[in-house]
Amino acid sequence: MGFTFQFIIRLFLTMLLSAILTPLIKLLAFKIGAVDAPGERRINQKTMPTAGGLAIFLSFSLLALWEFSSVLGFSNLSFVLLGALIVVVTGLIDDIKELNPRQKTLGITLASLVIYFWADIGFHTFSIPFIGVVEIGWLSLPMTIIWILAITNAVNLIDGLDGLAAGISIIALITMGLISYFFIPGNGVVLAILIFSLIAAIVGFYPYNFYPATIYLGDTGALFLGFMIAVFSLQGLKNATFISVMTPMFILGVPITDTVYAMIRRFFNKQSISSPDKMHLHHRLLSLGFTHRGAVLTIYAMALVFSFIALLMNYASTWATVLLVLSTLIGMELFIELIGLVGENRQPLMKGLKFIGNRKYRQEILEKRKK
């Protein structure tokens, strides 16, 4: 009971520190030029301070080092924070002076190497259903780097509306915290405490970031949150199983879906994978008539659905999990085609269903093919 009360106090202090630091970071952002000016690809109509994630990083890191490393004995915490610092510095430089994708990838990769070699966090074995445990061997390092890069960039790409990336991160981290506490043996409780500490830091920043925002996360914050989510998820993947791998992927279903379909869309349009566009999930919802706040809340609802599915997967059998994954993928594909995320004319599943259910339509298609 005493430790629970102390933990609640620490969470409150973390949230309070983040709330106090955010206005100070806002002033700092203007001084160092970490601002987001209106532009063709921007939602904002006036110059906005970015790098708001610096408040989240500082409040989480200070209390984590001050309290949790000694009380909880999380020996690799300092190395995790070192990796996070590299990512934050990379994001801060990008917020001040825009980096190219290769430079940002280099920063995240360096942080990933710190996590793998010094913090000793990464993939080691993988359990395949109906086959058994497989030693990953030399693939351990590249798989760890790819995992961190993919999730970090996925969270960064979803950061397009006020409060979107911060809210998605809160939902994802709450789900991860619950799964860590109830389903991960060993240091699951320690991991859950650290996760909820990060949530508290985001909550302190969130009122400044929700629509209408007075400060943005910036790459400083979006990359940091994505990186920490990736690292926390890897804590449960040291001896990865099908469910343990699918769980964080479903928890981050919204940003991962947006990233995957962005890559598919750019492939069809013969564009570079890293080339920017205004066809992301939040852009499509806005183009369909959603208000700024309405689009954000809709994506929150989607994130909650994915998180609920992720929780169910930890109770379901292997076959039930496979069916759950397949049904979710089909439902998501239908939604993606309805909003035109890949393109308004690219609707293979819907056209296929229309083809099956309409004999006249099928005959017209066949006649066109003959011609």
- In a structure prediction context, what are the per-residue pLDDT tens digits for the chain, which is 371 residues long? 566 778 888 899 999 999 999 999 999 999 999 998 876 666 667 889 999 999 999 999 988 777 665 554 456 788 899 999 999 999 999 999 989 999 999 999 999 999 999 888 888 766 655 565 667 788 889 999 999 999 999 999 898 899 999 999 999 999 999 988 887 766 778 888 889 999 999 999 999 999 999 999 999 999 999 999 999 988 866 555 666 677 888 888 899 988 888 888 888 888 877 777 778 888 889 888 999 999 999 999 999 999 999 888 878 777 888 888 899 889 898 998 888 888 777 777 777 776 665 666 556 666 666 66
Any domain includes 101: yes
User: Is the residue at 351 inside a domain?
Assistant: no
Q: How many C-beta atoms lie closer than 10 Å to residue 308's C-beta?
A: 12
Type of residue at 16? L
Q: What are phi and psi of 346, to 5 degrees?
A: -105, 90
Distance CA 55, CA 216 (A): 11
Length of the chain: 371
- 25 vs 217: CA distance, rounded Å: 11
Judge whether 346 lies within some domain: no
Q: Is 219 annotated as a binding residue?
A: yes
Q: Count the domains in the chain.
A: 1
Residue 154 is part of which domain span?
2-242
Whether 7 is in a domain gets the answer: yes
How far is the C-alpha of 44 from the C-alpha of 37, rounded, in Å? 8
The C-alpha atoms of residue 140 and residue 122 are separated, in whole angstroms, by 7
Whether 139 maps to a domain, the answer reads yes
Phi, psi of 48, deg, nearest 5: -120, 140
Domain contains 370:
no
- Asked if residue 280 belongs to a domain, the reply is no
Amino acid letter, 319: W
In a domain, 233, yes or no: yes
**Residue 82 burial (C-beta neighbours within 10 Å; 0-12, 13-18, 19+):** middle
Beta-bridge partners for 48: 36
